[in-house]
Amino acid sequence: MAQYLLRRLLWSIPVVLGVATLVFALIHIVPGDPIDIMLGEQAAAVDREALRRELGLDRPRYEQYGRFLGGLLQGDLGASLTTRRPVVATVLKRYPATLELAVAAMVICLVVAVPLGTIAAVHRGGALDRVTTLVALVGVSMPNFWLGPLLILAFSIHLDWLPVSGRGSVAHLVLPAVTLGTSMAALVARMVRSSLLEVLSAGYVATAAAKGLPRWRVVTKHALRNALIPVVTIIGLQIGALLAGAVVTEKIYSWPGIGGLIITAIGGRDYPLVQGCVLAIALTYVFVNLLTDLAYTLVDPRIDLAGGRRV
């Protein structure tokens, strides 16, 4: 296990460097000059050049890239071009809010998806199966930028049950988490149904049922656990989509996380801040993938991570 973790951590280094390089290249390709945004297009040429030199934007791209990589290796991502505050401190201040939203959305996803998928599989071809399949299809089809305002209109404006925006109490978390977790819950529910149907046809499940065990026990104890391997895989892969969806969702609900921060940074051509936000998301994704692999051993202890096989 220790060797496996070390190998995965070593492989994470080129992944992070690749993401850093790609983000650096793309953000500098985007049209627009941060100096124009900071000083305005009517600023004097002398002031513009002085600020450009102060921020190091007058240097060649390869030199800026070298400085960026050097700072990255030391854990220093520079300072924001607009606020002049350290990027690392700014990202760390916003990161807990994004993490809180992602965890809440994941909890909602699992609470909704696993029962729905199980019910659909157990009642295959019946009315409950068709209803849950329809609900999953509707959930997958609804984009966050449409569902978010719809929930605000229903539960914040008309019913006045929940706050419209901001972060503070649990009530502020409900609508963003539901918006973010709905589409993912629909996808996971379909995966649970598909995987569970395959397991329910296995011989050991029929044997357990023949022994007179209650139906719910056969499904939950013998079938569902063995059906979770592909479900765990899809959940790990969807973390990236979850974080990407958080960008839109945070903007809709004015949630003070990395999503809103990165949109503001892109609008202001704040290169260091954009790079810091994307790297934080990339590192989170790498870490979650590692946790996903470790979760395999909890679901099925026969899996040998070092050998990549079941023992």
Question: Between residues 283 and 216, which one has the greater pLDDT?
Answer: 283
307: pLDDT strictly greater than 70? no
Summary mean pLDDT of the chain: 79
Residue 17 has pLDDT above 80, yes or no: yes
Q: Is the pLDDT of residue 25 over 80?
A: yes
Q: For residue 310, what are the β-bridge partners?
A: 303
- Once rounded to an integer, what is the mean pLDDT over residues 173-193? 86
Rounded to the nearest 10 degrees, what angle do helices 228-252 and 271-299 cross at? 150
CA angle 90, 91, 95 (to 5 degrees): 125
**Are the CB atoms for 177 and 104 separated by under 8 Å?**
yes
Report the pLDDT value the prediction gives residue 64, as an integer from 0 to 100: 82
- Across 28-37, 111-120, 121-130, which has the greatest mean pLDDT? 111-120
Point out the least confidently predicted range of 6-15, 65-74, 179-188, 279-288: 6-15
What does the buried/exposed string (b/e) look like for 66-102 if buried means 16 or more CB atoms within 10 Å of the residue's CB?
eebeebbeeeebbbbbbeeebbbebbeebbebbbbbb
Asked whether residue 304 carries a pLDDT value surpassing 70, the answer given is: no
Coil, helix or strand for 31? Answer: coil
pLDDT in tens, 78-92: 888 888 888 889 989
Q: Angle, nearest 10°, between helix axes 87-122 and 170-200?
A: 40
Characterize 288-311 residue by residue with b for buried, 16 or more Cβ atoms within 10 angstroms of its Cβ, and e for exposed. bbbebbebbeeeeeebebeeeeee
Q: Domain segments of the chain: what residues?
A: 2-73, 88-310
Q: What is the pLDDT of residue 148?
A: 85
Provide the 3-class DSSP secondary structure of residue 303: strand
- Average the pLDDT over each of 48-62, 84-98, 173-187 and give the range with the smallest value: 48-62
Residue 308 has pLDDT above 70, yes or no: no
pLDDT on residue 130: 85
CB-based contact 102:243 (threshold 8 Å): yes
CA-atom Rg of the chain in angstroms: 24
- What architecture does CATH give domain 88-310? Orthogonal Bundle (1.10)
Q: For residue 113, is pLDDT > 80?
A: yes
pLDDT tens per residue, range 224-249: 777 777 788 788 777 776 776 677 88
pLDDT in the model for residue 311: 47
pTM: 0.79
271-292 mean pLDDT: 82
